[in-house]
Structure 1
Amino acid sequence: MKAFLLALLLACMPALAIAQVATDPTPLQFNDAAEEQRFRALVSELRCVMCQNQSLADSNAQIAYDLRREVLKLMRQGKSNAEVRDFLVARYGEFVLYRPRVAGKTWLLWLGPIVLVLIGGMVVAHIVRKRSDHGTVATDDTQEW
């Protein structure tokens, strides 16, 4: 029994090593406050490709550290915010943007909720209309209730 528990513990050890939160050994150094403000605004608009529900600014995943360094490098190369976003979209797809662009691939994402509300409104209107048509009850005074 002890051998089985030891084997199970040893089998789980690699998973524990992978699950550890990455730490950034060298924090980013900014040239001035304007560069830092632009950087923070830009990485808060981008999604961590590993975490999926966190922004690049909030994520502690190793890829988030790498992408933040990449964003800063692109900024220092003179790229605009749009060019940095385009670079990341080309590399990781529209998923990296918190607010995907309206395009042929994303039309359902943008118009889907409106279509669902319209369909729901038509269903409710149909049900109300149907009930109001059948809502007139003939009264019969001869019946005892």
Structure 2
Amino acid sequence: MEGDHVWLRVSPMKGVMRFGKKGKLSPRFIGPFEILSRVGEVAYKLALPPSLSVVHPVFHVSMLQKYIPDESHVISLDSVELGADLTYEEEPISILDRQIRKLRTTELVSVKVQWKHRSVREATSETESDMRARYPQLFEASGNYLLYVRGRT
């Protein structure tokens, strides 16, 4: 397997909520990285770039996934700021849409959120109250959106 390429698993920081559940979009992978050598029965040493020099280059097979060549899958390391423990935090960029779902006695207000380093296609639906509590700057930045929310279109 030396010379082959693999994806390396990274995961969002604890406490980051997506779809109302922690870790919902895990696992995520970066790479691909070349395998330099096998270390023991279940670990491999990878050729990591200088930007990941703080990370030990030997990983258990559970942290790796075989790479099947396809240029559309490559995620640039510059686009994701990884910590020493291979975690990162997702940040919202903007609110794309607002939707009110009426139940029998309540109304659920959700917003469609575009996340940093993600395309519009990958926007997620989050509850408005949670987003207002965690990221109030998103609602202050968009004046037209606030008028729409308050019903003064």
TM-score tier (shorter): under 0.3
> Where is the helix percentage greater, Structure 1 or Structure 2?
1
- Work out which structure has the larger RCO, using CA pairs closer than 8 Å and 6 or more positions apart in sequence: 2
Return the index of the structure with the highest Cα Rg: 1
TM-score for the superposition, normalised by structure 1:
0.21
TM-score for the superposition, normalised by structure 2:
0.20
> Where is the strand percentage greater, Structure 1 or Structure 2?
2
